[in-house]
Amino acid sequence: MSERKFVIVDGSSMLSTCYYAVLPREIMFAKSEEEKQKHYDKILHAKDGTYTNAVFGMLKMIVSLMKKQQPDYIAFVFDKTRDTFRRELYPDYKGTRGITPEPLKSQFVLMEEILKDVGFQVLLSEQYEADDYAGSLVMKFRKEISMILLTKDHDYLQLVNDEYNVRAWMVQSRQEKAEELYQKYYSFYGVKKEEVNLPEKVFEYTSDTVLREEGVRPEQIADLKGIQGDPSDNIPGVKGVSSAVPPLLREYGTVEEIYRSIHEAEADKKILKELQDFWKNQLGITRSPYKALTKTSEEELCGEKAAMLSKTLATMKTDIPIDMALEAFSAEAYQEEKVKKWLKILDIKEASIFGSGK
């Protein structure tokens, strides 16, 4: 008997991925936003002008997921706004991201409506991000059932936990990359590809895979981003320390413990020299990160202050109150006929989603 599983789908990353995967070439290679807007009419749309390219891709993924992977429970989590509590802590959080194009923005609203109508639970709010809801769902239900996170966002790796059987189905940019990871890990243990029931372009991360691929344990992902930063979310980190972070975290465990060891050594120049020699000779860090880690400035965010803020920004919330029992997320609520109804409304051919055999 196959294991019972609760799949949490990162709706925001999935829909965005589907949107950009099938954009017309004229938009993909346009040099300005104005030029892109001139070609919006070439984006897949219904007869009434409703944009559907992202919805099309995501519905195809969902129908395949329900048929092939057959989750027992399922939830979709979305970002509603960038102005969450993290931006209150750091106004430049996600500040490098461009404005969401209107054809994608409208499909977020449409996709959420479709998901609710066909029987799925959708979680989002003005205060929290999609991954905060994913983290809170994991912490609420992981003792009851195996949990899977379907996403391409590496932030989710911090939730992976072998003890509670929480895994991440990480969407890769290409099927070839997923195959490469399969060969690197599964085939080593003699696991046949057909025995691994995963969606297309997906590779499953366990705690061991996270450690091998990221250089740190799942629970250290936020610490890793605390010092390395994360350009995609404009999390600053500490400049000039990047390659030294994994060995430091393997030794000290957390950002806080790294700084505790530094502060203890700073009281004596000899001990401080011994600490840096230890980093070099025992941890293999060729270039001392001490100056970068301890830099202070009133003009810029740096050093310990930057590290602690960055870790806070990168840490998922796992305690959002979710007043729903496990059964509220039952996949049995899924109504395939309603999906077909939406396909007709949106002028999407049924065979393109379900295949010619349906």
Q: Where are the beta strands (DSSP E) in the chain?
A: 5-10, 73-77, 121-123, 146-151, 166-171, 202-205
Kindly tell me if the per-residue pLDDT of 358 is higher than 70.
no
φ/ψ of 138, rounded to 5, equals -60, -50
Largest CA distance in the chain: 75
pTM surpassing 0.75?
A: yes
182-199 pLDDT tens trace: 888 887 777 777 778 899
3-state secondary structure of 290: helix
3-state secondary structure of 202: strand
Residue 157: CA atoms inside 13 Å, Cβ hemisphere, count? 28
For residue 165, what pLDDT is reported?
95
**CA-wise closest residue to 149 among 199, 89, 79, 223:** 199
By the 10 Å C-beta count (0-12 exposed, 13-18 middle, 19+ buried), 286 is classed as exposed
CB 331 within 8 A of CB 72: yes
For residue 264, what pLDDT is reported?
96
pLDDT band at 126 (very low <50, low <70, confident <90, very high): very high
Cα separation, 58 vs 50, in Å, equals 16
What length is written for the chain?
Answer: 358
276-316 pLDDT tens trace: 999 999 999 999 999 999 999 988 999 999 999 999 999 99
Exposed e or buried b for every residue in 264-283, given b needs 16+ CB within 10 A? ebeeeeeeeeebeeebeeee
For residue 357, what pLDDT is reported?
57
Percent with pLDDT over 70 in the chain: 99
Domains of the chain: 5-152+163-205+323-354 (3.40.50.1010), 220-314 (1.10.150)
Calculate the CA dihedral of residues 151, 152, 157, 160 and round it to 10 degrees: 30
Which H/E stretch holds residue 59?
helix 53-64
**CA-wise closest residue to 293 among 249, 230, 231, 233:** 249
Kindly tell me if the per-residue pLDDT of 62 is higher than 90.
yes
Query: Higher model confidence: residue 84 or residue 53?
Result: 53
pLDDT band at 356 (very low <50, low <70, confident <90, very high): low
For residue 2, what pLDDT is reported?
55
CB 89 within 8 A of CB 46: no
Name residue, tokens 């393997």: 250
For residue 192, what pLDDT is reported?
75
Q: Which residues pair with 147 in a beta bridge?
A: 6, 166
pLDDT band at 341 (very low <50, low <70, confident <90, very high): very high
What mean pLDDT do residues 247-275 have?
96
Query: Higher model confidence: residue 195 or residue 225?
Result: 225
Sequence-distant (6+) residues with CB within 8 A of 112 are 11, 76, 78, 122, 124
317-327 pLDDT tens trace: 999 999 999 99
